[in-house]
Amino acid sequence: MIILPGRTLGILGSGQLGRMLGIAAREMGYRVHVYSSELHSPAGAVADREFVGAYDDIQRVSDFARTVDVLTFEFENVAAECAAAAEAVTLVRPAGRVLHITQNRIREKSFLRDAGIPVTPFRPVYSADDLAGFTYPAVLKTAAFGYDGKGQQKVTSEAQARDVFASLPPQPLILEEFIPFRREVSVVAGRGVDGDFYHFGVMENAHANHILDVSRGPVAMEGAPVEIARQVFDALDAVGVMCVEFFETVTGEYLVNEIAPRTHNSGHLTIEACNISQFELQLRLVCGLPAPVPEYLVGAGAMANLLGDQWESGEPQWAAALAAGAKLHLYGKHEPRPGRKMGHLTALASHPDAAAKIVTEARRRLSNPTDSAV
């Protein structure tokens, strides 16, 4: 089924990813309805209608779904029962099955392993006894509702793992072997209803305090990460845009760390850097429309996140950052808080490292505006 411009796109979730997807949809003539847990959300500000309700309210989500022609996800923390209820009344892409698998680390890792896709060695943990006999050091994680490093802790021994387990409320956990890695990379990609595969190459990601800090790319346009990402999309039979995140080990292997069943931070640079952004690609694919093969206009791009910490000393010096050659994207969030994603900077250059230098310098100037140019 093709959903043409003039029809209504539904977005479950209302943060910055929904906002940028909504902007892409409005530019192509679609109406946009957003489902949010609160009024006046970043995505709600660019939508035609903003529905407010809990993400586990089956009736409310079903009522919302009845108002749209196709529905997609902005984040994973939507009850699987709600996705199923939405599928009963409208088209959902990626399918609720994809959300169900990827929103739980045990289901996700088990699915990937069973599909022959390389993942970090892991073990489901339902009791303290499940911690025995595993390889340490390891990372103990909650199975659900974890992002930006939340719900996980490195443990160096079984004794420490038991202490952490005892301190947590009863819930399924997953224990993953701690893998020494060279770097973290991601592939933001998409798959159409006809199975055609699209990708933006391999992005290299640097984190600070478990939150994505700077992405640069493409560090490669082909290779193992791209091929593994293709396998993931085919195994899930996914339609739309998702991000596959990897550890590149010190021995040159690529292990899938997790899947985001939506657009992703590391793809923000595609807005300026490519002939089609991750958001327009998501829109086209979930609506069943053709899309161009993604290409870089200059050669490379980079993105630097702007967190609420940047406002600690007052309003950032936007003019100084823009003078460094960066593009500014703010998300319309009214209250800056430490660790909260408020916006991002992007830049283009002939090489990923050069683009990363521009955005990091521009971000530095937000609080140190008088220093020299890049």
List the structure tokens of 135.
């390889």
Give the CATH number of the domain where residue 69 resides: 3.40.50.20
> CB–CB of 174/106 below 8 Å?
yes
53 and 70 in a single domain? The answer is yes
283 and 347 in a single domain? The answer is yes
88 and 193 in a single domain? The answer is no
In a domain, 191, yes or no: yes
Eight-class DSSP state of 309:
G
Task: For residue range 24-81, list pLDDT tens digits in order.
Answer: 999 999 999 999 999 999 999 999 999 999 999 999 999 999 999 999 999 888 998 9
| Identity at 310, one-letter amino acid code | Q
57 and 153 in a single domain? The answer is no
Which pLDDT belongs to residue 254?
Answer: 98
In a domain, 13, yes or no: yes
200 and 285 in a single domain? The answer is yes
In a domain, 58, yes or no: yes
269 and 315 in a single domain? The answer is yes
d(CA 8, CA 28): 11
Which pLDDT belongs to residue 93?
Answer: 97
215 and 326 in a single domain? The answer is yes
Quick one: which of 75, 76, 15 has its CA closest to 42?
A: 15
| Sequence-separated (6 or more) residues with CB below 8 Å from residue 198 | 189, 190, 191, 192, 281, 285, 291, 293, 294
Does the structure show a pLDDT above 80 at 151? no
145-159, 180-194, 238-252, range with the lowest pLDDT: 145-159
What is the total count of domains within the chain?
3
161 and 298 in a single domain? The answer is no
| Sequence-separated (6 or more) residues with CB below 8 Å from residue 109 | 119, 120, 122, 174, 176
Query: Which residues constitute the domain of residue 303?
Result: 181-365
Residue 78 sits at the vertex; the CA angle it makes with 73 and 82, to the nearest 5 degrees, is 100
191 and 173 in a single domain? The answer is no
